[in-house]
Amino acid sequence: MLVMALSQIESAKLGHLLRRAGFGARPEEWDAYARLGVAGTTDALLHPERAPDHLGSVLKDIDGDFVDFHNMDSVKMWWLYRIAHTQRPLEEKMTLFWHNHFATANYKVDNPAWMWGQNETFRANALGNFRTMLKAVSRDPAMLVWLDGADNRKGRPNENYGRELLELFTMGVHGGYTEQDVKEAARAFTGWRFDRDSSTFSFDAGQHDDGPKTFLGQTGNFNGDDIIDIVARHPSTAHFLCTKLFKFFISDTPTPADTAPFERVYFNSGYDVRAVVGAMLTSGAFYAPAAMYSKIKSPVEMVMTTVRTLDVPMSALNYLPGTLRSMGQDLFNPPNVKGWTEGQSWMNTMTLMERVNFINQVVREMGNRGEFSDKLHGAIARAGMPVNTPEAAVNALWTTFMPGRQPSVQTRAALTAYASNGWKPGEARFENKSSGLVRLILSAPEYQLA
């Protein structure tokens, strides 16, 4: 296999891009992205439609065997399998973003098939038009159950969806709307239903309030689509969405000045998410030293980056839904309508121990199956470093997993001490030490950051 040599700076940038805009890279993918370079890789990520979705076709062909739509863990494994093997990593990363943005939980919906359908809606609109996404989600069966839209009727409006549409999906808590705007939005969405047998949207005209409504200063016989049109073009929506995307891709603490350029892109592009994300991924802020390795990986990011980087076969990982649940991110079951609180909230004594246990289990099982040695040789070849001393072994493996990041003094000392204990020159000695080194590196505090 051809190993592409990149400068340390380019390697660091490429690794950063693949962590933030995807879930790392499998070994053969790294070679392909290295040939494209950072600019070419960015372009490829932003245009997932150029990559054949063979995975989607295969999974659809075997749905009856692979996915039990009555079993939520089966649907979770279906998504994790997609993340592990996708040729469209940014599409899956955005699907995860939208899953948290439009947080919907099966503990209320109680229908794994509807949750799967919503996930496919997020994927289909992952980098599309935000207004189009809002209209699709508003018609989604899981959302209509989750926020009681299916019970919203003329004369007895249910305000849940109208409220969260404004507060959590578009304008934000301080977006400038009033309680009366919430009530008028609820009236506009009356009569929105879905057929439970076909899982398709339907409209009950007899339950729709078609009277005049005044919403955000505009008056008309508005329906739900009209409300979405109005909020999509509101400045608060641009600010709210761009702030969330900035936090997701760049930094947890953006200022209004940080997001302003991307808000302009949102409007100039006609609410195009691809344009906004593309502007972020090519911005100076994205590659600023302060941005690199500055965000705590979510459990899904940490687990699936590890799976992809180590090229772990998914057939050996049926326990992942439970592992992620223990780490604090139960897919398809966010804790509430606000979704998961990210950043430091991911980390506590219990969840950190779950991360370490996962690393230990994966590395041990790979070693037991005899899969570790060949993959490490390929990784070391990519690093382009000798492994003839304990220090060199630490450097080579560290660079494989965290290009562009130096270990702390304490971490380097601990790793070198482990590698040096009983070290004897030669390839066999390195192999004996390598699995332990990998466990320590992937359990290090630095590895928890993206």
Q: What is the dihedral of CA 430, 400, 446, 77, to 10 degrees?
A: -100
Q: Quick one: pLDDT band at residue 69, thresholds 50, 70, 90? A: confident
pLDDT tens-place string over residues 229-268:
999 999 999 999 999 999 999 999 999 999 999 999 999 9
The answer as to whether 96 is a domain residue is: no
What pLDDT is stored for residue 383 in this prediction? 60
What's the rounded mean pLDDT across residues 58-87? Answer: 82
The answer as to whether 404 is a domain residue is: no
What's the rounded mean pLDDT across residues 99-107? Answer: 99
Q: Quick one: pLDDT band at residue 393, thresholds 50, 70, 90? A: confident
CB under 8 Å to 154, separation ≥6 — which residues? 190, 191, 206, 207, 208, 209
203: DSSP letter: E
What's the rounded mean pLDDT across residues 121-139? Answer: 99
What's the rounded mean pLDDT across residues 202-218? Answer: 98
- Find the domain containing 254 and state its range: 235-281
What pLDDT is stored for residue 267 in this prediction? 99
**Gap between the Cα atoms of 336 and 344, Å rounded:** 18
The answer as to whether 266 is a domain residue is: yes
What's the rounded mean pLDDT across residues 358-376? Answer: 81
What pLDDT is stored for residue 426 in this prediction? 60
What pLDDT is stored for residue 428 in this prediction? 55
Residue 228: pLDDT above 80? yes
What's the rounded mean pLDDT across residues 331-335? Answer: 99
CB 33 within 8 A of CB 14: yes
- Percentages of the chain per state (helix, strand, coil), in multiples of 5: 65, 5, 30
Q: What's the mean per-residue pLDDT of the chain?
A: 92
The answer as to whether 273 is a domain residue is: yes
Residue 58: pLDDT above 60? no
β-bridge mates for residue 195, sequence order? 200
Residue 275: pLDDT above 90? yes
CB 94 within 8 A of CB 127: yes
Least confident of 50-64, 161-175, 217-231, 417-431: 50-64
What pLDDT is stored for residue 60 in this prediction? 53
What pLDDT is stored for residue 368 in this prediction? 80
Q: Number of C-alpha atoms within 13 angstroms, CB side, residue 354?
A: 22
What pLDDT is stored for residue 380 in this prediction? 64
**Gap between the Cα atoms of 145 and 249, Å rounded:** 30
The answer as to whether 132 is a domain residue is: no
Q: Quick one: pLDDT band at residue 22, thresholds 50, 70, 90? A: very high
What percentage of the chain carries pLDDT values higher than 90?
Answer: 79
CB 187 within 8 A of CB 219: no
What's the structural domain count of the chain? Answer: 1
What pLDDT is stored for residue 382 in this prediction? 62
The answer as to whether 262 is a domain residue is: yes
Q: Quick one: pLDDT band at residue 4, thresholds 50, 70, 90? A: low
Q: Quick one: pLDDT band at residue 183, thresholds 50, 70, 90? A: very high
Higher pLDDT, 29 or 6: 29
pLDDT tens-place string over residues 280-317:
999 999 999 999 999 999 999 999 999 999 989 998 89
The model scores a pTM over 0.85: yes
The answer as to whether 240 is a domain residue is: yes
CB 89 within 8 A of CB 128: no
What pLDDT is stored for residue 2 in this prediction? 37
The answer as to whether 75 is a domain residue is: no
**Gap between the Cα atoms of 54 and 246, Å rounded:** 31
Residue 1: pLDDT above 50? no
